[in-house]
């Protein structure tokens, strides 16, 4: 069947009919994902060491700070690689929001029902994963908020604390170093929770390891 006259979603649907495995995550996305994951775990661990240096003595305070800063800059650079990839490739459709409020809430409510009831009773997810539409409505809106608001906010507060003197005017304008530090720590707590929830949801594939394998192979198997 020729596909040159089909839209991206129609092509995705045709591919899914002919092959139970879908190539969902291309190599750049997989590399970015694991670098980002390792970076965030390192930031969390070194952040805990910095915050509780009087209790935890795995690293010296100075080593923890230096490690935290270097990893942070690496994660920031990795973030812009992710942003550039999606802005300048056709994969940006994965993050396109549903602009029709009625359709969005209908799909989001169906997905909530699935997560709270259907998944425990053998039902299939109402969202059909496709290469150019891999996120369900709840994932899509969540990732947009996290990647375009919360992550940059964490970077911003971290950079200001990295060089307090240089950003003193900004810090004072935003309420002082305690405010900046509090926001940074609250987002840190959010990301600790997010990673645990993300890992749990990752275990809800056809098998507990299916979604994890997908982030190594790029292929998602039909449930």
Contact 223, 205 (CB under 8 A): yes
pTM score of the predicted model: 0.81
Lowest mean pLDDT among 13-22, 84-93, 132-141, 161-170: 13-22
Does residue 1 carry a pLDDT above 50? no
Give the percent of the chain with pLDDT over 90: 48
Query: pLDDT band at residue 207, thresholds of 50, 70 and 90?
Result: confident
Question: What top-level class would CATH report for the domain 19-221?
Answer: mainly alpha
**Cα dihedral 61/70/30/37 (nearest 10):** 20
Determine the average pLDDT of the residues in 44-54: 92
In tens, the pLDDT along 50-64 reads: 999 888 888 999 999
Cα separations in angstroms, 171 against 51, 74, 80: 20, 23, 24
Dump pLDDT digits (tens) for 138-164: 888 899 999 999 999 999 999 999 999
């Amino acid at each position: 069947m020729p596909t040159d006259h089909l839209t991206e979603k129609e092509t995705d649907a045709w591919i899914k009919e002919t092959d139970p495995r879908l190539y969902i995550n291309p190599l750049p996305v997989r590399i970015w994902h694991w670098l980002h994951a390792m970076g965030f775990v390192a930031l969390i661990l070194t952040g805990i060491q910095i915050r509780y240096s009087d209790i935890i003595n795995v690293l010296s305070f100075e080593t923890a700070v230096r490690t935290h800063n270097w990893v942070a800059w690496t994660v920031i650079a990795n973030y812009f690689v992710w942003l550039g990839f999606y802005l300048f490739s056709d994969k940006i459709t994965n993050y396109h929001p549903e602009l029709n409020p009625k359709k969005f809430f209908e799909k989001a409510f169906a997905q909530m029902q699935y997560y709270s009831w259907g998944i425990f009773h053998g039902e299939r997810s109402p969202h059909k994963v496709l290469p150019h539409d891999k996120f369900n409505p709840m994932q899509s809106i969540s990732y947009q908020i996290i990647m375009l608001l919360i992550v940059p906010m964490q970077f911003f507060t971290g950079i200001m604390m990295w060089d307090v003197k240089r950003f003193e005017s900004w810090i004072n304008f935003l309420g002082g170093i305690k405010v900046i530090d509090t926001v940074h720590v609250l987002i840190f707590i959010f990301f600790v929770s997010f990673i645990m929830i993300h890992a749990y949801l990752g275990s809800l594939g056809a098998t507990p390891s299916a979604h994890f394998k997908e982030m190594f192979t790029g292929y998602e198997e039909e449930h």
